[in-house]
Amino acid sequence: MTDNSAPVGVFDSGIGGLTVAQEVIRQLPHESVIYFGDTARVPYGPKSPDTVRRYSREIAAFLGEQGVKSIVIACNTATAHALGVLREELEMPVIGVVEPGARAAVAATRGGHIGVIGTVGTIKSGAYERAIRAIEPDVMITARACPLFVPLVEEGWTDHDATRLIAREYLEPMLDAEIDTLVLGCTHYPLLKPLLRDVLGPDVRLIDSAEETAAETARTLNEAQLAAAPGADPAYRFIASDDPLQFLQLGQRFLGATMEGVEIRTLG
Ligand code: DGL
């Protein structure tokens, strides 16, 4: 029988998924969390679905060895390519970021035109379109890959003229198409929220899958009777597959909190 005090495993291609871990920690304050960032093999965005699936399986196996009771795939690209196989192959609940984001977008849209932005892999996979249409077949969807956003965020250029210029280039066609809701379908994009609000104006709603995914994690753990006891004292572990020092320095910005330390573990 699974121990309710076992940690929740959260993984991403790198540090970006810490935006999801942050929400899990905020919304589920009694859950312990083990976060794995695959910094040795980031980015996943431009890689083939097969490669991303292989990496995701390796990480899930590693988290299983660490005794996690469920897995949150914090990476949009890994969710797009590997959620199906991990759900098939693992006995524990596996939560991705795409379905929660799609649900929130459908609930938020007023005019029925949803924009989706993400990495090349996520957009090419059509995962968001499928998830949105499974809930509401009649919405209009305009999707666009924004590959330059990830390096800009990693550079810390979240409020920079170059980023604003690039955001206009990516998003003006979406504004012309009159989207009323935009799904931030990538771990890094929540850090661009203020800049995207500037570019898109007040009428476009921004959907951050991190908040929705944490809420979905809470629901899933409750339904599976796996939630930690209300008085439980949580423990957090952060593990990177390369350069733990850089993970620590950059990661605190994504996590919005101090990390005690980062372990290193190479996979593959
Ligand atoms: N974590 C990835 C995602 O959410 C972005 C970074 C990458 O390309 O690996 O799609």
Question: Over 217-235, what HEC string results?
Answer: HHHHHHHCCCCCCCCCCCC
pTM score: 0.96
Question: What is the structure's pLDDT at 223?
Answer: 97
Tell how far the Cα of 62 is from the centroid of ligand 1, in angstroms: 20
Of these residues, 15, 25, 75, 146, which one is catalytic? Answer: 75
Show the tokens assigned to 94.
């596996």
73 pLDDT exceeds 70? yes
The structural domains of the chain, ordered by start, are 8-97+211-264 (3.40.50.1860), 98-208 (3.40.50.1860)
Q: What is the pLDDT of residues 111-165, one digit of tens each?
A: 999 999 999 999 999 999 999 999 999 999 999 999 999 999 988 899 999 999 9
The DSSP 8-state label assigned to residue 8 in this structure reads: E
Active site residue 146: no
Q: What is the 3-state secondary structure (H, E, C) of 106-129?
A: HHHCCCCEEEEEECHHHHHHCHHH
Q: Which of 53, 79, 125, 188 to mutate to test the pocket of ligand 1 (most atoms within 8 A of CB)?
A: 188
Q: Which residue is catalytic, options 131, 145, 186, 214?
A: 186
pLDDT for the residue 1 = 60
**Residue 257 pLDDT greater than 90, yes or no:** no
Q: How high is the pLDDT of residue 268? A: 80
Ligand 1 pocket test target in 10, 11, 12 with most atoms within 8 Å of CB: 12
Q: Are strands 8-12 and 205-208 parallel, antiparallel or unpaired?
A: unpaired
Per-residue pLDDT of 162-220, as tens digits, reads 999 999 999 999 999 999 999 999 999 999 999 999 999 999 999 998 889 999 999 99
3 CA → ligand 1 middle, Å: 31
The token pair at 65 is 């060895």
